[in-house]
Structure 1
Amino acid sequence: MKEEYIQTLHPIAGKTNKRISLKKYEIIKENILSILAESEPTHTELMEELYSRVKDTFDGGVQWYGETVKLDLEARTIIERTKTKPEKYKLIKPAHR
């Protein structure tokens, strides 16, 4: 079976993001949304928690995929950065399942 891909979006107009495996996208997306359902972490906290959750089962660079998917979720207005210092991340709306 041919692997499916998703063209991810970037929150800054004019910037293009990566085309990645849909399967890997879904794994990272589910974990990011799960983390944000429980807390409002800083970028570092988000990436550390994501890594700790998927490091043993995910095939690929967790931080790289995490950043790519995080930017895509921001562009799709599913998550947002707070205006606080340091910036934190939070859910805007429940994810569509």
Structure 2
Amino acid sequence: MADLPLRPAVETASDIPRLRLTARQGAPLAERLAVRAVTDLLDLAAAGDWHRLRRCAARPCQDAFVDRSRPGRRQFCSTRCANRAHAAASRARHR
């Protein structure tokens, strides 16, 4: 985070000011995504929702994701990984 060019910004929601970190003006996509990831992790920590940070259950995927589903049972980082894992399980059952 120390290497990211962060810029503080004040947002107002329901007349309540809130400090947000944003990328610098005109920053490339990679920097904007990195700033977004850092701010999302800070929000996750502030809410005490670390248990929602998970690793994808599909092999060989090693991606992490935040489970924002209501029941909190999401297992895969994307539909692509879920489809691949379900297809592999189906093939294994039919052997």
**Higher RCO (CA 8 Å, separation ≥ 6 residues):** 1
Relative to the length of structure 1, the TM-score reads: 0.22
| TM norm structure 2 | 0.22
- Higher helix fraction: Structure 1 or Structure 2? 1
